[in-house]
Amino acid sequence: MAAPDTDPTRSDRTVLDARDISRALTRISHELLERNKGATDLVLLGLHTRGVPLARRIADKIAAVEGAPVAVGELDVTMYRDDLRSQPTRRAHKTALPAGGIDKKVVVLVDDVLFSGRTIRAALDALADLGRPSAVRLAVLVDRGHRELPIRADHVGKNLPSALAERVSVRLAEVDGTDEVTIS
Amino acid sequence: MKHLLSIDDLSTDEIAQLFETAADMHDVQSREVKKLPALRGRTVVNMFFEDSTRTRSSFEIAGKWLSADVINVSAKGSSTSKGESLRDTVLTVCAMGVDGLVIRHPASGAALQVSEWVDASVVNAGDGMHEHPTQALLDAYTLQRHLGSLEGRHVAIIGDLTHSRVFRSNVQCLTKLGARVTVVAPPTLMPSGIGPWSAAAGFETSYDVDAVLPEADAVMMLRVQRERMSGAFFPSPREYTVGYGLTRNRLALLKPDVPICHPGPMNRGLEIAADAADAAQSVVLEQVSSGLAIRMAVLYHLLAGEEA
Protein backbone atom coordinates (compact mmCIF):
# COMPACT_ATOMS: atom_id res chain seq x y z
CA MET A 1 0.00 0.00 0.00
CA ALA A 2 1.14 3.56 -0.69
CA ALA A 3 2.31 5.50 2.33
CA PRO A 4 0.90 8.96 3.18
CA ASP A 5 2.21 12.03 1.35
CA THR A 6 4.37 13.22 4.19
CA ASP A 7 6.35 10.02 4.21
CA PRO A 8 9.84 10.98 2.94
CA THR A 9 10.53 7.37 1.94
CA ARG A 10 7.72 7.39 -0.60
CA SER A 11 9.23 7.42 -4.07
CA ASP A 12 6.31 8.99 -5.91
CA ARG A 13 5.36 12.64 -5.90
CA THR A 14 1.81 13.97 -5.87
CA VAL A 15 1.26 16.31 -8.79
CA LEU A 16 -2.47 16.92 -8.39
CA ASP A 17 -4.50 16.40 -5.23
CA ALA A 18 -8.27 16.04 -4.98
CA ARG A 19 -8.87 19.80 -5.05
CA ASP A 20 -6.56 20.31 -8.03
CA ILE A 21 -8.37 17.57 -9.93
CA SER A 22 -11.74 19.12 -9.15
CA ARG A 23 -10.55 22.56 -10.25
CA ALA A 24 -9.10 21.19 -13.47
CA LEU A 25 -12.35 19.40 -14.30
CA THR A 26 -14.35 22.55 -13.54
CA ARG A 27 -12.19 24.52 -15.95
CA ILE A 28 -12.49 21.83 -18.64
CA SER A 29 -16.29 21.87 -18.19
CA HIS A 30 -16.39 25.63 -18.74
CA GLU A 31 -14.05 25.43 -21.71
CA LEU A 32 -16.27 22.80 -23.29
CA LEU A 33 -19.36 24.92 -22.78
CA GLU A 34 -17.68 28.01 -24.13
CA ARG A 35 -16.30 26.25 -27.18
CA ASN A 36 -19.60 24.51 -27.88
CA LYS A 37 -21.74 27.54 -27.03
CA GLY A 38 -23.82 25.57 -24.54
CA ALA A 39 -24.47 21.91 -23.83
CA THR A 40 -26.80 21.11 -26.75
CA ASP A 41 -25.69 18.17 -28.90
CA LEU A 42 -22.79 17.52 -26.56
CA VAL A 43 -21.98 13.86 -25.81
CA LEU A 44 -19.26 12.98 -23.31
CA LEU A 45 -17.71 9.56 -23.85
CA GLY A 46 -15.41 8.26 -21.13
CA LEU A 47 -12.68 5.82 -22.13
CA HIS A 48 -12.26 2.78 -19.89
CA THR A 49 -11.23 2.59 -17.16
CA ARG A 50 -10.70 5.99 -15.54
CA GLY A 51 -12.07 8.14 -18.32
CA VAL A 52 -15.55 6.89 -17.44
CA PRO A 53 -15.80 8.47 -13.96
CA LEU A 54 -14.05 11.60 -15.28
CA ALA A 55 -16.69 11.97 -18.01
CA ARG A 56 -19.43 11.60 -15.40
CA ARG A 57 -17.86 14.27 -13.19
CA ILE A 58 -17.54 16.70 -16.07
CA ALA A 59 -21.15 15.97 -17.04
CA ASP A 60 -22.28 16.72 -13.47
CA LYS A 61 -20.40 20.01 -13.49
CA ILE A 62 -21.86 21.01 -16.85
CA ALA A 63 -25.35 20.04 -15.68
CA ALA A 64 -24.88 22.19 -12.58
CA VAL A 65 -23.97 25.19 -14.70
CA GLU A 66 -26.51 24.71 -17.47
CA GLY A 67 -29.32 23.34 -15.36
CA ALA A 68 -29.98 20.47 -17.75
CA PRO A 69 -28.43 17.00 -17.93
CA VAL A 70 -25.80 16.30 -20.58
CA ALA A 71 -25.46 12.97 -22.41
CA VAL A 72 -22.72 10.67 -21.05
CA GLY A 73 -21.55 7.29 -22.27
CA GLU A 74 -18.63 4.92 -22.04
CA LEU A 75 -16.41 3.65 -24.79
CA ASP A 76 -14.25 0.53 -24.75
CA VAL A 77 -11.47 0.44 -27.31
CA THR A 78 -9.91 -2.93 -26.45
CA MET A 79 -10.93 -4.53 -29.75
CA TYR A 80 -9.47 -1.61 -31.69
CA ARG A 81 -6.03 -1.52 -30.08
CA ASP A 82 -3.01 -1.96 -32.32
CA ASP A 83 -1.15 -3.98 -29.68
CA LEU A 84 -3.80 -6.69 -29.17
CA ARG A 85 -1.60 -9.25 -30.77
CA SER A 86 1.58 -8.50 -28.85
CA GLN A 87 -0.02 -8.94 -25.44
CA PRO A 88 -1.94 -11.61 -23.58
CA THR A 89 -5.67 -11.40 -24.26
CA ARG A 90 -7.11 -8.29 -22.69
CA ARG A 91 -10.48 -8.19 -21.05
CA ALA A 92 -13.00 -6.14 -22.97
CA HIS A 93 -15.30 -3.67 -21.23
CA LYS A 94 -18.72 -2.36 -21.96
CA THR A 95 -19.45 0.26 -24.57
CA ALA A 96 -22.59 2.20 -23.68
CA LEU A 97 -23.80 5.09 -25.78
CA PRO A 98 -26.41 7.56 -24.53
CA ALA A 99 -29.92 7.01 -25.87
CA GLY A 100 -29.60 9.70 -28.55
CA GLY A 101 -26.55 8.03 -30.12
CA ILE A 102 -23.64 10.03 -31.48
CA ASP A 103 -24.77 10.86 -35.02
CA LYS A 104 -24.48 14.60 -35.70
CA LYS A 105 -23.43 15.22 -32.09
CA VAL A 106 -20.27 16.82 -30.77
CA VAL A 107 -18.51 13.93 -29.09
CA VAL A 108 -15.96 14.69 -26.40
CA LEU A 109 -13.66 11.78 -25.63
CA VAL A 110 -12.55 11.88 -22.01
CA ASP A 111 -9.49 10.03 -20.71
CA ASP A 112 -7.20 10.28 -17.71
CA VAL A 113 -3.74 10.40 -19.28
CA LEU A 114 -2.72 11.29 -22.82
CA PHE A 115 0.56 9.56 -23.57
CA SER A 116 1.40 7.82 -26.86
CA GLY A 117 -1.95 8.73 -28.41
CA ARG A 118 -2.60 5.13 -29.43
CA THR A 119 -5.67 4.73 -27.23
CA ILE A 120 -7.19 7.80 -28.82
CA ARG A 121 -6.43 6.46 -32.29
CA ALA A 122 -8.26 3.27 -31.33
CA ALA A 123 -11.13 5.34 -29.94
CA LEU A 124 -11.47 7.26 -33.21
CA ASP A 125 -11.70 3.95 -35.08
CA ALA A 126 -14.30 2.70 -32.62
CA LEU A 127 -16.34 5.87 -33.07
CA ALA A 128 -16.37 5.43 -36.83
CA ASP A 129 -18.09 2.06 -36.34
CA LEU A 130 -20.65 3.53 -33.98
CA GLY A 131 -21.84 6.52 -35.95
CA ARG A 132 -20.85 9.83 -37.46
CA PRO A 133 -20.42 12.67 -34.97
CA SER A 134 -20.36 16.20 -36.33
CA ALA A 135 -17.12 16.77 -34.43
CA VAL A 136 -14.87 14.86 -32.03
CA ARG A 137 -12.88 16.59 -29.32
CA LEU A 138 -10.51 15.25 -26.71
CA ALA A 139 -10.37 16.17 -23.04
CA VAL A 140 -7.74 14.66 -20.74
CA LEU A 141 -6.86 15.19 -17.12
CA VAL A 142 -3.12 14.90 -17.71
CA ASP A 143 -1.04 15.32 -20.86
CA ARG A 144 2.35 13.79 -20.19
CA GLY A 145 3.80 14.16 -23.71
CA HIS A 146 5.72 11.49 -25.69
CA ARG A 147 3.18 11.24 -28.48
CA GLU A 148 3.73 8.52 -31.07
CA LEU A 149 0.92 9.69 -33.34
CA PRO A 150 -0.24 13.09 -34.65
CA ILE A 151 -2.89 13.52 -31.95
CA ARG A 152 -3.41 16.38 -29.53
CA ALA A 153 -5.93 17.18 -26.80
CA ASP A 154 -8.40 20.07 -27.05
CA HIS A 155 -8.79 20.40 -23.30
CA VAL A 156 -6.05 19.51 -20.81
CA GLY A 157 -6.31 19.50 -17.02
CA LYS A 158 -2.58 19.67 -16.53
CA ASN A 159 0.42 19.49 -18.83
CA LEU A 160 2.91 17.29 -17.08
CA PRO A 161 6.35 17.14 -18.69
CA SER A 162 7.71 13.71 -17.81
CA ALA A 163 10.58 11.44 -18.66
CA LEU A 164 9.68 8.39 -20.70
CA ALA A 165 10.74 6.10 -17.86
CA GLU A 166 8.60 7.90 -15.30
CA ARG A 167 5.23 6.55 -14.37
CA VAL A 168 2.17 8.78 -14.12
CA SER A 169 -0.67 7.29 -12.07
CA VAL A 170 -4.15 8.72 -11.86
CA ARG A 171 -6.26 7.51 -8.95
CA LEU A 172 -9.93 8.36 -8.74
CA ALA A 173 -12.31 7.89 -5.85
CA GLU A 174 -14.79 5.86 -7.96
CA VAL A 175 -12.14 3.29 -8.91
CA ASP A 176 -9.30 3.58 -6.41
CA GLY A 177 -10.96 5.13 -3.37
CA THR A 178 -8.89 8.32 -3.51
CA ASP A 179 -8.33 11.29 -5.82
CA GLU A 180 -4.73 12.03 -6.81
CA VAL A 181 -2.26 12.13 -9.64
CA THR A 182 1.27 10.99 -8.86
CA ILE A 183 4.49 10.67 -10.78
CA SER A 184 7.21 8.21 -9.89
CA MET B 1 -6.22 -20.73 -23.44
CA LYS B 2 -4.90 -22.38 -26.59
CA HIS B 3 -7.75 -24.74 -27.49
CA LEU B 4 -11.33 -25.23 -26.37
CA LEU B 5 -11.87 -28.97 -26.47
CA SER B 6 -13.81 -29.73 -23.33
CA ILE B 7 -15.54 -27.85 -20.53
CA ASP B 8 -13.17 -29.75 -18.28
CA ASP B 9 -10.29 -27.55 -19.57
CA LEU B 10 -11.94 -24.38 -18.23
CA SER B 11 -11.65 -23.04 -14.70
CA THR B 12 -14.64 -21.25 -13.18
CA ASP B 13 -12.63 -18.03 -13.55
CA GLU B 14 -12.17 -18.61 -17.26
CA ILE B 15 -15.88 -19.33 -17.65
CA ALA B 16 -16.71 -16.09 -15.83
CA GLN B 17 -14.29 -14.21 -18.10
CA LEU B 18 -15.87 -15.69 -21.22
CA PHE B 19 -19.31 -14.68 -19.96
CA GLU B 20 -18.14 -11.12 -19.30
CA THR B 21 -16.70 -10.84 -22.78
CA ALA B 22 -19.85 -12.41 -24.22
CA ALA B 23 -21.95 -9.74 -22.51
CA ASP B 24 -19.85 -7.06 -24.24
CA MET B 25 -20.18 -8.91 -27.55
CA HIS B 26 -23.92 -9.14 -27.10
CA ASP B 27 -24.20 -5.37 -27.52
CA VAL B 28 -22.53 -5.55 -30.92
CA GLN B 29 -25.53 -7.47 -32.29
CA SER B 30 -27.74 -4.44 -31.86
CA ARG B 31 -25.32 -2.03 -33.51
CA GLU B 32 -25.64 -0.77 -37.04
CA VAL B 33 -22.04 -1.70 -37.89
CA LYS B 34 -21.69 -5.20 -36.49
CA LYS B 35 -17.96 -5.40 -36.81
CA LEU B 36 -15.03 -5.33 -34.42
CA PRO B 37 -11.48 -5.33 -35.74
CA ALA B 38 -10.02 -7.60 -33.05
CA LEU B 39 -9.25 -10.58 -35.32
CA ARG B 40 -8.28 -8.68 -38.46
CA GLY B 41 -5.85 -10.76 -40.49
CA ARG B 42 -6.67 -14.00 -38.68
CA THR B 43 -8.10 -16.94 -40.56
CA VAL B 44 -10.64 -19.32 -39.08
CA VAL B 45 -11.68 -22.52 -40.80
CA ASN B 46 -14.97 -24.19 -39.98
CA MET B 47 -14.57 -27.92 -40.67
CA PHE B 48 -17.90 -29.64 -40.35
CA PHE B 49 -17.98 -33.37 -40.94
CA GLU B 50 -21.56 -33.51 -39.69
CA ASP B 51 -24.67 -31.54 -40.65
CA SER B 52 -25.22 -28.31 -38.79
CA THR B 53 -27.08 -25.07 -39.34
CA ARG B 54 -26.85 -23.03 -36.19
CA THR B 55 -23.42 -23.95 -34.90
CA ARG B 56 -21.70 -23.51 -38.24
CA SER B 57 -23.42 -20.26 -39.17
CA SER B 58 -22.97 -19.03 -35.60
CA PHE B 59 -19.22 -19.60 -35.71
CA GLU B 60 -19.07 -18.11 -39.20
CA ILE B 61 -20.87 -14.93 -38.18
CA ALA B 62 -18.92 -14.73 -34.92
CA GLY B 63 -15.64 -14.88 -36.81
CA LYS B 64 -16.78 -12.38 -39.42
CA TRP B 65 -18.03 -9.87 -36.87
CA LEU B 66 -14.59 -9.99 -35.29
CA SER B 67 -13.10 -9.32 -38.75
CA ALA B 68 -11.46 -12.73 -39.14
CA ASP B 69 -11.54 -14.41 -42.54
CA VAL B 70 -13.79 -17.43 -42.24
CA ILE B 71 -13.78 -20.39 -44.59
CA ASN B 72 -16.16 -23.32 -44.44
CA VAL B 73 -15.13 -26.85 -45.28
CA SER B 74 -17.78 -29.53 -45.09
CA ALA B 75 -17.34 -33.26 -45.56
CA LYS B 76 -19.69 -33.27 -48.50
CA GLY B 77 -17.91 -31.75 -51.46
CA SER B 78 -14.45 -31.91 -49.87
CA SER B 79 -11.64 -34.37 -50.51
CA THR B 80 -12.96 -36.42 -47.59
CA SER B 81 -15.57 -37.80 -49.97
CA LYS B 82 -12.68 -38.95 -52.18
CA GLY B 83 -11.31 -40.97 -49.28
CA GLU B 84 -8.78 -38.57 -47.76
CA SER B 85 -8.09 -39.24 -44.07
CA LEU B 86 -9.02 -36.72 -41.40
CA ARG B 87 -5.33 -36.14 -40.65
CA ASP B 88 -4.48 -35.35 -44.25
CA THR B 89 -7.49 -33.07 -44.67
CA VAL B 90 -6.68 -31.15 -41.50
CA LEU B 91 -2.97 -30.84 -42.27
CA THR B 92 -3.72 -29.70 -45.80
CA VAL B 93 -6.04 -26.97 -44.60
CA CYS B 94 -3.65 -25.87 -41.87
CA ALA B 95 -0.77 -25.71 -44.34
CA MET B 96 -2.60 -22.72 -45.81
CA GLY B 97 -1.82 -20.70 -42.69
CA VAL B 98 -4.87 -21.10 -40.54
CA ASP B 99 -5.04 -19.57 -37.04
CA GLY B 100 -8.22 -21.17 -35.77
CA LEU B 101 -9.88 -24.47 -36.57
CA VAL B 102 -13.48 -25.05 -35.57
CA ILE B 103 -14.24 -28.72 -35.95
CA ARG B 104 -17.30 -30.91 -35.75
CA HIS B 105 -16.87 -34.61 -36.29
CA PRO B 106 -18.98 -37.72 -35.68
CA ALA B 107 -16.13 -39.44 -33.82
CA SER B 108 -15.77 -38.74 -30.10
CA GLY B 109 -12.34 -37.34 -29.38
CA ALA B 110 -11.78 -36.04 -32.92
CA ALA B 111 -11.12 -32.46 -31.78
CA LEU B 112 -8.53 -33.56 -29.21
CA GLN B 113 -6.83 -35.74 -31.80
CA VAL B 114 -6.75 -32.86 -34.31
CA SER B 115 -5.33 -30.47 -31.71
CA GLU B 116 -2.32 -32.78 -31.40
CA TRP B 117 -1.64 -32.60 -35.13
CA VAL B 118 -1.81 -28.87 -35.78
CA ASP B 119 -0.41 -25.54 -34.51
CA ALA B 120 -3.71 -23.72 -34.91
CA SER B 121 -6.13 -23.18 -32.02
CA VAL B 122 -8.79 -25.85 -32.13
CA VAL B 123 -12.39 -25.33 -31.03
CA ASN B 124 -14.51 -28.40 -30.51
CA ALA B 125 -17.89 -27.72 -32.12
CA GLY B 126 -19.16 -31.18 -31.26
CA ASP B 127 -17.32 -34.49 -31.36
CA GLY B 128 -19.60 -37.51 -31.64
CA MET B 129 -21.29 -38.28 -28.36
CA HIS B 130 -18.54 -36.66 -26.30
CA GLU B 131 -18.69 -32.88 -25.89
CA HIS B 132 -20.02 -29.64 -27.33
CA PRO B 133 -18.44 -27.02 -25.06
CA THR B 134 -19.70 -23.83 -26.72
CA GLN B 135 -23.27 -25.13 -26.49
CA ALA B 136 -22.87 -25.70 -22.75
CA LEU B 137 -21.36 -22.25 -22.31
CA LEU B 138 -24.18 -20.56 -24.19
CA ASP B 139 -26.79 -22.54 -22.25
CA ALA B 140 -25.30 -21.57 -18.91
CA TYR B 141 -24.86 -17.98 -20.09
CA THR B 142 -28.51 -17.80 -21.20
CA LEU B 143 -29.71 -19.27 -17.90
CA GLN B 144 -27.56 -16.85 -15.94
CA ARG B 145 -29.20 -13.94 -17.73
CA HIS B 146 -32.56 -15.25 -16.54
CA LEU B 147 -31.78 -16.64 -13.11
CA GLY B 148 -28.83 -14.56 -11.96
CA SER B 149 -26.19 -16.73 -10.28
CA LEU B 150 -26.67 -20.44 -10.90
CA GLU B 151 -25.37 -21.30 -7.44
CA GLY B 152 -27.87 -23.70 -5.89
CA ARG B 153 -30.37 -23.42 -8.74
CA HIS B 154 -31.91 -26.64 -9.98
CA VAL B 155 -31.58 -27.46 -13.68
CA ALA B 156 -33.37 -30.46 -15.17
CA ILE B 157 -31.88 -31.95 -18.34
CA ILE B 158 -34.38 -34.24 -20.02
CA GLY B 159 -34.20 -36.50 -23.06
CA ASP B 160 -31.85 -38.64 -25.09
CA LEU B 161 -28.86 -38.61 -22.76
CA THR B 162 -27.02 -41.53 -24.30
CA HIS B 163 -26.38 -39.82 -27.61
CA SER B 164 -26.05 -36.30 -26.26
CA ARG B 165 -22.76 -34.40 -26.22
CA VAL B 166 -24.75 -31.34 -25.18
CA PHE B 167 -25.71 -33.07 -21.96
CA ARG B 168 -22.15 -34.21 -21.24
CA SER B 169 -20.77 -30.69 -21.60
CA ASN B 170 -23.70 -29.10 -19.81
CA VAL B 171 -23.47 -31.27 -16.71
CA GLN B 172 -19.83 -30.26 -16.28
CA CYS B 173 -20.45 -26.59 -16.95
CA LEU B 174 -23.52 -26.26 -14.75
CA THR B 175 -22.02 -28.14 -11.80
CA LYS B 176 -18.86 -26.01 -12.09
CA LEU B 177 -21.07 -22.95 -11.72
CA GLY B 178 -22.68 -24.42 -8.61
CA ALA B 179 -26.01 -25.50 -10.05
CA ARG B 180 -27.84 -28.60 -8.91
CA VAL B 181 -28.43 -30.79 -11.94
CA THR B 182 -30.90 -33.63 -12.40
CA VAL B 183 -30.78 -35.59 -15.64
CA VAL B 184 -33.84 -37.49 -16.76
CA ALA B 185 -34.16 -40.13 -19.47
CA PRO B 186 -35.95 -43.36 -20.17
CA PRO B 187 -33.85 -46.32 -18.94
CA THR B 188 -32.89 -47.21 -22.52
CA LEU B 189 -31.47 -43.74 -23.16
CA MET B 190 -29.67 -43.39 -19.81
CA PRO B 191 -25.95 -43.85 -20.57
CA SER B 192 -24.53 -47.05 -19.16
CA GLY B 193 -22.16 -46.43 -16.28
CA ILE B 194 -23.70 -43.08 -15.40
CA GLY B 195 -24.03 -44.12 -11.73
CA PRO B 196 -20.37 -43.75 -10.71
CA TRP B 197 -19.99 -40.62 -12.85
CA SER B 198 -23.00 -38.87 -11.34
CA ALA B 199 -21.82 -39.79 -7.86
CA ALA B 200 -18.34 -38.39 -8.55
CA ALA B 201 -19.51 -35.27 -10.37
CA GLY B 202 -22.36 -34.56 -8.00
CA PHE B 203 -25.47 -34.63 -10.16
CA GLU B 204 -28.65 -36.68 -9.86
CA THR B 205 -30.40 -39.05 -12.23
CA SER B 206 -34.06 -39.88 -12.53
CA TYR B 207 -36.50 -41.78 -14.75
CA ASP B 208 -39.49 -39.73 -13.62
CA VAL B 209 -40.08 -36.46 -15.47
CA ASP B 210 -43.24 -35.57 -13.60
CA ALA B 211 -41.46 -35.73 -10.26
CA VAL B 212 -38.57 -33.52 -11.39
CA LEU B 213 -40.41 -30.78 -13.30
CA PRO B 214 -42.23 -29.12 -10.36
CA GLU B 215 -38.99 -28.40 -8.50
CA ALA B 216 -36.86 -27.28 -11.46
CA ASP B 217 -35.64 -23.67 -11.82
CA ALA B 218 -34.80 -24.32 -15.48
CA VAL B 219 -35.58 -27.06 -17.97
CA MET B 220 -33.37 -28.20 -20.79
CA MET B 221 -34.95 -30.52 -23.33
CA LEU B 222 -32.64 -32.62 -25.51
CA ARG B 223 -33.25 -33.75 -29.05
CA VAL B 224 -33.99 -37.40 -29.73
CA GLN B 225 -31.07 -38.17 -32.02
CA ARG B 226 -32.53 -40.73 -34.31
CA GLU B 227 -29.58 -40.47 -36.71
CA ARG B 228 -27.33 -41.94 -34.01
CA MET B 229 -29.72 -44.71 -33.01
CA SER B 230 -28.95 -48.13 -34.39
CA GLY B 231 -31.52 -50.07 -32.41
CA ALA B 232 -34.97 -49.55 -30.96
CA PHE B 233 -34.63 -47.37 -27.86
CA PHE B 234 -38.35 -46.82 -27.43
CA PRO B 235 -41.41 -48.56 -28.89
CA SER B 236 -42.79 -45.57 -30.82
CA PRO B 237 -42.37 -41.80 -31.01
CA ARG B 238 -45.81 -41.46 -29.45
CA GLU B 239 -44.72 -43.54 -26.49
CA TYR B 240 -41.62 -41.38 -26.01
CA THR B 241 -43.71 -38.21 -25.99
CA VAL B 242 -46.13 -39.62 -23.45
CA GLY B 243 -43.31 -40.71 -21.14
CA TYR B 244 -40.68 -37.99 -21.59
CA GLY B 245 -41.84 -35.18 -23.90
CA LEU B 246 -42.48 -31.67 -22.60
CA THR B 247 -46.18 -31.67 -23.42
CA ARG B 248 -48.82 -29.07 -22.71
CA ASN B 249 -49.86 -30.95 -19.57
CA ARG B 250 -46.29 -31.09 -18.28
CA LEU B 251 -45.85 -27.38 -18.97
CA ALA B 252 -48.45 -26.81 -16.26
CA LEU B 253 -46.26 -28.68 -13.74
CA LEU B 254 -43.49 -26.09 -14.00
CA LYS B 255 -43.09 -23.21 -11.60
CA PRO B 256 -44.06 -19.94 -13.30
CA ASP B 257 -41.50 -18.36 -15.66
CA VAL B 258 -39.08 -21.29 -15.54
CA PRO B 259 -36.92 -20.89 -18.67
CA ILE B 260 -37.17 -23.72 -21.21
CA CYS B 261 -34.08 -24.43 -23.30
CA HIS B 262 -33.53 -26.67 -26.28
CA PRO B 263 -30.21 -26.82 -28.13
CA GLY B 264 -32.02 -27.35 -31.44
CA PRO B 265 -32.91 -28.56 -33.91
CA MET B 266 -36.22 -29.34 -32.25
CA ASN B 267 -38.37 -32.34 -33.06
CA ARG B 268 -41.65 -30.58 -32.44
CA GLY B 269 -44.26 -32.96 -31.15
CA LEU B 270 -41.64 -35.52 -30.11
CA GLU B 271 -39.51 -34.28 -27.21
CA ILE B 272 -41.10 -30.84 -27.06
CA ALA B 273 -44.64 -29.79 -27.85
CA ALA B 274 -45.27 -26.64 -29.84
CA ASP B 275 -46.97 -25.17 -26.75
CA ALA B 276 -43.68 -25.45 -24.85
CA ALA B 277 -41.40 -24.46 -27.72
CA ASP B 278 -43.39 -21.29 -28.38
CA ALA B 279 -44.26 -20.53 -24.76
CA ALA B 280 -43.37 -17.11 -23.38
CA GLN B 281 -40.80 -18.71 -21.10
CA SER B 282 -39.07 -20.55 -23.96
CA VAL B 283 -35.55 -19.17 -24.47
CA VAL B 284 -34.76 -21.20 -27.59
CA LEU B 285 -34.19 -18.20 -29.86
CA GLU B 286 -32.35 -16.32 -27.15
CA GLN B 287 -29.99 -19.29 -26.97
CA VAL B 288 -29.15 -18.67 -30.61
CA SER B 289 -28.22 -15.02 -30.06
CA SER B 290 -26.33 -15.93 -26.87
CA GLY B 291 -24.52 -18.56 -28.90
CA LEU B 292 -23.20 -15.93 -31.23
CA ALA B 293 -21.96 -13.81 -28.33
CA ILE B 294 -20.33 -16.82 -26.65
CA ARG B 295 -18.61 -17.90 -29.85
CA MET B 296 -17.31 -14.38 -30.43
CA ALA B 297 -15.96 -14.44 -26.87
CA VAL B 298 -14.33 -17.85 -27.42
CA LEU B 299 -12.71 -16.84 -30.71
CA TYR B 300 -11.55 -13.58 -29.17
CA HIS B 301 -9.95 -15.29 -26.18
CA LEU B 302 -8.29 -17.97 -28.28
CA LEU B 303 -7.07 -15.86 -31.17
CA ALA B 304 -6.70 -12.18 -30.23
CA GLY B 305 -3.79 -12.43 -27.79
CA GLU B 306 -0.12 -13.00 -28.40
CA GLU B 307 0.09 -16.74 -28.02
CA ALA B 308 -2.36 -17.70 -30.75
Domains of chain A: 16-183 (3.40.50.2020)
Q: Say which range, A17-31, A98-112, A126-140, B224-238, has the weakest mean pLDDT.
A: B224-238
pLDDT of A90: 81
B135 appears as a binding residue in the annotation: yes
Q: For residue B66, which residues of chain A lie inside 8 Å, CB to CB?
A: 79
Domains and CATH numbers, chain B: 7-131+288-303 (3.40.50.1370), 133-286 (3.40.50.1370)
Mean pLDDT of B91-115: 95
- Better-scored residue on pLDDT, B133 or B264: B133
A14 φ, ψ to 5°? -80, 125
**Residues A139-152: what's their mean pLDDT?**
96
In angstroms, the separation between the Cα of residue B9 and the nearest Cα of chain A is 17
Per-residue model confidence (pLDDT) at position A35 = 94
Query: Beta-strand (E) ranges in chain B?
Result: 43-48, 69-74, 100-105, 121-127, 154-158, 180-184, 204-206, 218-221, 260-261
Nearest CA in chain A to B27: A95
- Secondary structure class of B43 (helix, strand, coil): strand
**How would residue B76 be classed by pLDDT, with cut points 50, 70 and 90?**
confident
Sheet hosting strand A180-183, strand order edge to edge: A13-16, A180-183, A168-171
Interface of A with B in 128-167 (CB under 8 A): 129-131
Model confidence over B148-159: pLDDT tens digits?
A: 999 999 999 999
For B82, which DSSP code?
A: G
* Residue B122 pLDDT > 70: yes
**CB spacing of A79 vs B307 below 8 angstroms:** no
Q: CA-based Rg of chain A, rounded to a whole angstrom?
A: 16
Nearest to A87 among B20, B66, B305 (CB): B305
* Residue in A closest to B18 by C-alpha: A91
- Closest partner CB to A79 (pick from B31, B33, B37): B37
Annotated ligand binding at B165? The verdict is yes
d(CA B161, CA B167): 6
What's the rounded mean pLDDT across residues B96-106?
95
B268 marked among binding-site residues: no
pLDDT of residue A6: 53
Interface contact A80-B305, CB threshold 8 A: no
| pLDDT score for A9 | 61
B97 marked among binding-site residues: no
Residues of B designated catalytic: 54-55, 82, 104, 132
pLDDT at position A92 is 82
pLDDT of residue A8: 58
Residue B103 has pLDDT above 80, yes or no: yes
Q: pLDDT-based confidence at A127, cuts 50/70/90?
A: very high
CB-CB under 8 Å, A95 with B305: no
Q: Cis peptide leading into B265, omega within 30 of 0?
A: yes
* A156 has pLDDT over 70: yes
What residues in B contact A86, CB-CB < 8 Å? 306
This complex has an ipTM of 0.76
Instruction: Select from A79, A80, A81, A129 the residue whose CB has the most chain B CBs within 10 Å, as the one to mutate to test that interface.
Output: A79
The secondary structure of B191-233 as a DSSP string is PTTHHHHHHHHT-EEES-HHHHGGG-SEEEE----GGG--S-S
Query: Using an 8 Å Cβ cutoff, are B183 and B207 in contact?
Result: no
CB B5 within 8 A of CB B122: yes
* % of chain B exceeding 90 in pLDDT: 84
Residue B308 pLDDT class (50, 70, 90 cuts):
very low
Whether B33 and A130 lie within 8 Å, measured CB to CB: yes
- Mean pLDDT to the nearest integer, B151-170: 96
CB–CB contact A80 B36 (8 Å)? yes
Single-letter code of the amino acid located at A175: V
Q: If you measure CA to CA, which chain B residue comes closest to A101?
A: B31
pLDDT over 50 at A169, yes or no? yes
Query: How far apart are the CA of B305 and the nearest CA of chain A, in angstroms?
Result: 4
B20, B37, B305 ranked by CB distance to A89: nearest? B305
Give me the pLDDT at residue A93, please. Answer: 85
pLDDT of residue A10: 63
Cβ within 8 Å, pair B24-A90: no
On average, the pLDDT of chain A sits at 92
Please give the Cα distance from B164 to B185 (Å, whole number). 11
Query: Is there a contact between B21 and A130 if contact means CB atoms under 8 Å apart?
Result: no
- Going by their DSSP bridges, the two strands B100-105 and B154-158 should be labelled as unpaired
pTM, two decimals, is 0.88
- A46 falls in which pLDDT band (50, 70, 90)? very high
Torsion sign over Cα B88, B91, B95, B101:
positive
Inter-chain CB proximity A131 and B32 less than 8 Å? yes
Look over chain B and give the mean of its residue pLDDT values, rounded to a whole number: 93
pLDDT score of A81: 92
In this model, does residue B168 exceed pLDDT 70? yes
